[in-house]
Amino acid sequence: MKKENTTQNYANSVAGTTVKVGYRATTDAEGAVVSIFGTVKKAEAVVGYVNYDRQNDRLHLSFEPFSGLNLRERKALASAALADIAEITEKEG
């Protein structure tokens, strides 16, 4: 019997800010992460996204609207997102 792809949810608060990221990781039949999609929120308003795609070896971080976060929050989010993606891919793989 073939094992199906699965999804796993993760959440993180960006240290020193009110920014939160909710991630959804999709794994292949062997349990390796193939993609991660994250929604960035501040005070319950969506202010950006994090996307990781293993096949194309890409990580995208977007701020929408750019003015939704200040410079300190954008820097903290970028650092946290890189660490989160690394942790999720290592945990699942």
Pairwise CA distance, residues 77 & 35, whole Å: 19
Whether residue 39 contacts residue 22, with contact meaning beta carbons closer than 8 Å, is answered with yes
Is 70 inside a domain boundary?
Answer: yes
Return the pLDDT at 92: 58
Is 43 inside a domain boundary?
Answer: yes
62 lies in which domain range?
A: 6-92
Pairwise CA distance, residues 30 & 80, whole Å: 27
Percentage above 90 pLDDT, the chain: 86
Average pLDDT of 86-91?
A: 90
> How many domains does the chain fold into?
1
Mean pLDDT of the chain: 92
Is 42 inside a domain boundary?
Answer: yes
Is 1 inside a domain boundary?
Answer: no
Q: Which residues contact 41 (CB under 8 A, 6 or more apart)?
A: 19, 20, 21, 22, 47
Q: Which residue has the tokens 């997102």?
A: 81
Return the pLDDT at 80: 96
pTM of the model: 0.89
Residue 55 has pLDDT above 60, yes or no: yes
Return the pLDDT at 66: 95
Is 32 inside a domain boundary?
Answer: yes
